[in-house]
Chains A and B, each alone.
Chain A
Amino acid sequence: MITKSVIENIIQTALECGGDFAEVFVEDRNHTTIVQNGKETEEGIVAQDCGVGIRVFSGIQSVYTYSSDDREEHLLQVTRDICQLFPNHKAAQMMTLRSSQLILPPSKLPFDQVTYQQKMDRVQLVQNAGYQYDKAIDKMWVKYLDLHQQVTIANSEGVYVEDTRNKTRMLITAYATINGDTRSGYIGPGAAQDFSFYDSICLEDYAREAARSACAMAGAEFCKAGQMPVVVDNGFGGLMFHEACGHSLEASSVAKGNSEFSGRLGEKVASSLVTLIDDGSISESWGGLRVDDEGMPTQKNMLIEKGILKGYMIDKLNSRVMKMPATGSGRRESYRYAPTSRMTNTYIEGGTSTRDEIIKATEKGLFVSSISAGSVNPVTGDFNFAVAEAYEIQNGKIGKPVKGATLIGKGSQVLQDVDMVGNNMRIDQGYCYAASGALFIGAGQPTVRIKNMTVGGLSV
């Protein structure tokens, strides 16, 4: 795409137009998406995205532009256009771009060496396994995606890094109809690997798990609404903490004072059983990266340690506002977005209890086996998420399945109300949608009990 000297010219132009920091993000992405909805191929596309994102700061103000037109004269002009709001003077000196060597893992089975038909065959494998699980399964929705992304990130502080990223995922939703009631079960294995990922897992097992979940929920009674203890199982249950407090710990909320955790470093914000970490450096993880989308190496960020607020996730711009160092948390969906602080792999560290102990210790409540999606208001801390699979807990035992539950709460309160933490931590894969676009994230936790939550349901 564009050369190093063009990148230097863009940065130089930005600084001459009044910026005191400038960054160029160049992206070349090849990707495949296949969606089979029932027996039909609803979507099947192979395409390439190429473009450039240019960001310039002046103090704590930022301007941004992007384009797929990579001609130098066009990029220099759009740089001048976005800097028109800055006072017209040379605000900073550019440092020499120094290349960083990223050690890339050996490629085992690159996506471009796998035919489209071979990818379709894997989708069909999942479909077949799901339908064969039980005759109640009347539809399978399966989405395969892969992407091979090459990025170059450079800035006026001398950073110049080139990275190659592979991501792939198989999203599986099974629909079961029992006694006229249709429910779904969902699972989505993924990793930052090439196609060899699918040789390391058993896709049929995942298909069967989605089908099992759908069958468990179909025909279930509606969950009763009210307040009760809730036990959230390990893995994607971690989405609860992603919503409940993760977003409120991103600098994009904290810096403006718009988070319930703003200005509370060193305070006890959670139960002593809670240690919350965001770690983008986990190798080959779905939510991880070697370098973030601002060119900084990712790292393990301790957010809450034994209940004490230790840190935030901070991007470059907000590090200026907060006067704190950036934490390798700058992320963006693509060149079409300016980066901001976002989560990577966020998880609650494992504790000492077993899942069985936690359930046995719960007289009456709700056992949440899996969660689908949710959202949060970082200002108030109000969060919500939809439950995909849940069961009543009666007398310390898992009872009948219940459907249609929603869990709501306030982030700071739910952290305080964690009173049992299991020893079975697992991180699962998901997506997060916010200001800098849709991102791949990991959400994880062990089995956790919250002593009191509001459960929304369709029954009272």
Chain B
Amino acid sequence: MIETQIQQQILNCCAQNEVKDVMLYFSKQKTTVIQVADEQLESFQMSEKEGIHISGSYHGFQGETYLEQYENKSIEAAVQNLVQTSQGNQKRAKKQIGFTVQKSQKTNNENKNDVLDSKKMIDEFILQQKRLKQENPLVVQVSGTGFRLVQEEIEITSEQGDTKRAENQFCQGSVSVVAAKNERKQNSHVSSFANEIEELDYLCMGKKAARDAIALLEAEPIMSGSYQAVLANELSAELLSSFLSIFYQESVEQGNSRFKNKYGEKVADNCLTIWQEPDWDRAPIKRSFDDEGTAANRCMVIEKGQLKWLPGSGTGQSTISTGNGKRADYRDVIRTGFWNLIVQKGSRDTKELIGDVDQGVFLTQTDGLFAGVNAKTGDFSAICQGFYIEHGKCTRGIKQITVGGNIYDLLSDLQEVSSDTAGSSNEWDYVESPAMKVKSLTIGGL
């Protein structure tokens, strides 16, 4: 929590400098990271970051800044920074909508005060790494068993004294292995989020990482061409996560999305239903209000292929805030973002979807999406790996290939989604998705 005295100092300094409509966003994040590699502790980190973002209007123009030190001179310097940026940016002061929920509403994930037994965790990780290698002779190295615990407090305070607080905690576990055979090496990395440490299943993660790495040891590229494709649930989640901006009101306003004037229209196959769920249990971050204090609600985005709703942060000329104003932390400005995007699952699992494909590809992993995505056109092209499908079965591993397509075409060309889901690896743009069977994607290879 911001100390009342510091809060008052900032507000007083703003008032003295004619800064109005002040909003203070305080965030404090404690992080613990443990990394064990090759059966010994590699690194351990415990840290705390804390700061206050100040936004307000000066003579009708919006300005903002942040500070990490709270002495008088730092506060005065910060307010001067706010004044000069408001004059320079010439952004009309944003009408504060905020504080549409009860004060001090806490989320479900209150911070626990249990002391983390780091030494016990490290010993367990070392044991698991030894076991993993013993059970899988082709696994030559368990290059990383990782744990990350994030505990966050947020407090938003308006000039009028309204205050909203949220606390959140999540863990992320990961296992990385390297498999080798006949001078070929293949690695695999598996991670998952959980609310509590006890929910992280390292045994399961390790087995999956080993299985995935071994399965692709002898993978080879295939001929370039168009292929019917099944995208694994994790890959589907990562792909959607890369294209979230196409849903934002601000993108539509700027001409960066094809969803302009598409409310109520069919934009995807009937099998696709997607919604925002701020309080999704499996998501790492759960919030009932956004980073400006506006209520964040469950909202249907696409229902049976029809576009229903688009989120906004009110940062555009004509966009409105739907409780989707997010900051990465106190240093960041408000940007539009989802509070957990969930894709409704189907009735058959991934294996059954693959069973439908006579000749095609099952893609399990991709890399470089951040570089290979064109958010304006919807085109994507990235390196990927997976399996070749023949007569409904995965017959051989494939890698050193690219997958290319267009996200809008993909949504329309969806044939089915699976019943088994997975979440993306980024807590900030969390997407949970089933596997997706798509009519056709372009594979670049031989």
Mark A residues whose CB is within 8 Å of B. 34, 37-38, 40-51, 60-70, 78, 81-82, 84-85, 115-117, 119-120, 138-139, 175, 181-184, 224-227, 256-258, 260, 336, 338, 372-375, 377, 379-380, 382-386, 404-406, 408-410, 454-460
Contacts and interface: CB of A to CB of B under 8 A. Distances in A.
A379 B367 CA distance: 14
B219 to A, nearest CB: 10
A47 B81 contact: yes
B68 interface: yes
B186 A225 contact: no
Nearest to B38: A256
Given A258-B143, A408-B400, A460-B224, A46 B317 contact: no
A401 B401 CA distance: 23
B400 A257 contact: no
B50 to A, nearest CB: 6
A379 B221 CA distance: 18
Given A47-B331, A48-B74, A455-B444, A460 B38 contact: no
Given A63-B45, A67-B48, A379 B381 contact: no
B244 to A, nearest CB: 17
A386 B381 contact: yes
Contacts of A49: 68, 331
Contacts of B69: 48, 50, 68, 70
A34 B368 CA distance: 27
Contacts of A224: 224
Contacts of A457: 381, 402, 404, 442, 444
B42 A61 contact: yes
Given A45-B85, A68-B49, A175-B376, A458 B368 contact: no
B287 interface: no
Q: Which 10 A-B pairs have the closest CB atoms?
A: A456-B402, A225-B444, A456-B444, A373-B371, A384-B383, A44-B89, A68-B68, A46-B81, A406-B381, A384-B368
B446 interface: yes
B376 to A, nearest CB: 5
A38 B254 CA distance: 8
Contacts of A181: 377
A458 B404 contact: yes
A456 B402 CA distance: 5
A258 B379 contact: no
Interface in B39-72: 40-51, 63-69
Contacts of B442: 225, 456-460
Contacts of A377: 187, 367
Given A66-B47, A117-B87, A375 B225 contact: no
B12 interface: no
Interface string B389-425: 0000000000111111110000000000000000000
Interface of B: 37-38, 40-51, 63-69, 74, 77-78, 81, 84-85, 87-91, 118-119, 122, 141, 143, 178, 185-187, 221, 224-226, 254-255, 315, 317, 331, 333, 367-368, 370-372, 374, 376-377, 379, 381-383, 399-406, 442-446
Given A408-B383, A456-B382, A458-B442, 5 more contacts: A40-B91, A116-B88, A117-B87, A225-B224, A460-B224
Contact of A373 (B40, B141, B370, B443): B370
Most buried by B among A42, A44, A257: A44
B85 A116 contact: yes
A82 B45 contact: yes
A79 to B, nearest CB: 11
Contacts of A405: 381
B67 A458 contact: no
Contact of A410 (B78, B187, B400): B400
B359 to A, nearest CB: 15
B76 to A, nearest CB: 12
B383 A226 contact: no
A386 B372 contact: yes
Nearest to B50: A68
A382 B143 contact: no
A48 B74 CA distance: 9
A78 B49 CA distance: 13
A409 B379 CA distance: 21
A51 B49 CA distance: 9
